[in-house]
Structure 1
């Protein structure tokens, strides 16, 4: 990938753009670079920002972004703000196709959650990031979208609006507080969830915390593909999971065996930044539903998270429709329905065409 042209590029040895990097000088104190690959960015300096930025999460970490780029093939446009040569703010982004139209969106972050991660000089750093985004939305890329998981991002709402962003979509996920211990969690479950756990335990079963290897991931992935096919979802390729091995300290792989037979499992993300465990990948084939496999696995991972000092368990996406079976299933564990935060910034006739089509589609569905 060749070196990209720069806007007001500094050409000294410290700031010369690297491969796949654009540089923009905002003033004498701040500099913005855009990276079309995470390769070449210093891992420790990137993760240092994540460790000290209040809203940052496991989805901001270098290893997660590297797995997306390498395993899924999405093109990054990561924005980094430095002051006196030190990174103080980042916004990870990937270029992703828009469904059903020949255009693309710049998304922070997909898969997962994103948004700006800033350690200091918040107002100046946020402005520097947001002023850079329009230069990245060119050609087929017609909109920038932020999908954030932390309601702390609401403090940026007015600044985002001043830069042309608008709130978009209403979805959420169930988040279960673990701070009062397992007995309190269990008392908050519905009767049907507690009954399902007990019925699952009535039969011979074993839940194992697996060592993370290519072999254990391959076995999990086979069950995961079956699970996604059965629920009508799109499965991520094995290459993505193999690249996640670089962040094995942030993964938990639980395997369920029923009567000695492999019955799927969960691959969890450990979000030490937010003291949460994310239920991001499930692999429970439908032939084990009647054995209450999911209840057994959720019960085990909740206990594991409490034992290891995490404050919350995140069940992942909820449809926003209380009539959905998946919605009711997750709600039965007693978690709080927490909104995901979406902001969009799009320009031009093509974006207006796409948004009009989306509104028409949603009206027809209703």
Structure 2
């Protein structure tokens, strides 16, 4: 369940020690290794420059790992942080963000790296030993109602950890995928790669009176977008992030792109994109177009604009965000029509409680394709 972290004023960093063969609770400084693993109850206890330094040194660091995104989740969503920090000889050399979030349709929680978004370990140096220490720390963080740890890797590079994760009891599943569109070619090549339906949608939309505007990230503009987003998510039965989360995202305004489409002078929806400069990718994370503008092809026009914007600003990939892996699903077919390549979302889970197998079995009843 979403929980607020305490505000007692005491330090939120707890030394849990490096995890050596003797498994004692002493400080990590021994002759065997100088690595230490700490758990912090707020990313603020690490500090912006120090945490983002880890992200920038790691090949797997992304916009979702950055301090600002983690702080928005912690403050705007109220999820309980359990971030791991790896130090060596007193220097921070790696980390892994984690939040406690609810398991849908159960009274239990999972420890997730990372949700919302994609996470996983960032271990640019001493990788093998650091990964071992981090993995062995996780069971200490999964207590009470928290019965499973989940890692959601952003890209295929996380496959490098697969053998180590499975050795420690993590099991992969493939319930989601993402469509990635190559922006390194010309705009005409992107159009040629689309389905006939998507191309015609853009062509027909261009016959109407419309404009797409890059908005300032003011509170007023975000509130207008959020009202539309909330209405769309209510209509489709999706989970709605509160406005407090969007409000906190203003701290990373240099990594956000807010687009508005106006049709016949009226507000017709928009998109809030995340700019992943670490991977030269634009992530389509939030979109909100009311049903009454479907026939005007407002969605196709917004996507068409952001593709051209990405090319112009030197981004290499457009990421449509997660969808299920059912090719009969309307969202899957809609995204597929823009010509992107489907890639699996890499997820590993490790049960930390005898209750996990029962919850997993029960979950398969409403997700029959879950493995």
TM-score, normalization: structure 2? Answer: 0.92
Which of 92, 103, 109 aligns to 2:108? It is: 103
| Residue 194 (structure 1) aligned with residue 199 (structure 2) | yes
2:119 & 2:196 partners in 1: Cα distance?
Answer: 36
Helix, strand or coil: the match of 1:57?
Answer: coil
User: What RMSD, in angstroms, separates the aligned Cα atoms of the two structures?
Assistant: 1.7
Cα offset, 1:138, TM superposition: 1.0
1:48 & 1:363 partners in 2: Cα distance?
Answer: 42
- Identify the residue that residue 58 of structure 2 maps to in structure 1: 53
Which of 213, 218, 221 aligns to 1:216? It is: 221
- Identify the residue that residue 16 of structure 2 maps to in structure 1: 24
Q: How many residues align?
A: 352
Helix, strand or coil: the match of 1:111?
Answer: coil
Helix, strand or coil: the match of 2:327?
Answer: coil
Which of 73, 79, 84 aligns to 2:84? It is: 79
**CA deviation vs aligned residue, 1:49-83 (integer Å, no higher than 9, x gap):** 11111111110000000000100010000001011
- Identify the residue that residue 343 of structure 2 maps to in structure 1: 338
> CA separation of 1:186/1:136 partners in 2, compared to 1, >3 Å: closer, same or farther?
same
Q: Which moved more, 1:300-309 or 1:40-49?
A: 40-49
**CA deviation vs aligned residue, 1:247-296 (integer Å, no higher than 9, x gap):** 00000000000011111100000001111000000011111000000000
- Identify the residue that residue 95 of structure 2 maps to in structure 1: 90
**CA deviation vs aligned residue, 1:18-42 (integer Å, no higher than 9, x gap):** 6222113324321111011122221
Q: Where does 1:1-366 land on structure 2 (aligned, <5 Å)?
A: 1=6, 19-26=11-18, 27-28=28-29, 29-363=34-368
Contact 1:2/1:20 (<8 A) preserved: no
Cα offset, 1:230, TM superposition: 1.8
Unpaired stretches in structure 1, ≥5 consecutive residues: 4-17
Contact 1:178/1:310 (<8 A) preserved: yes
2:296 & 2:79 partners in 1: Cα distance?
Answer: 38
Helix, strand or coil: the match of 1:114?
Answer: coil
Cα offset, 1:97, TM superposition: 1.2
TM-score, normalization: structure 1? Answer: 0.93
Cα offset, 1:114, TM superposition: 0.7
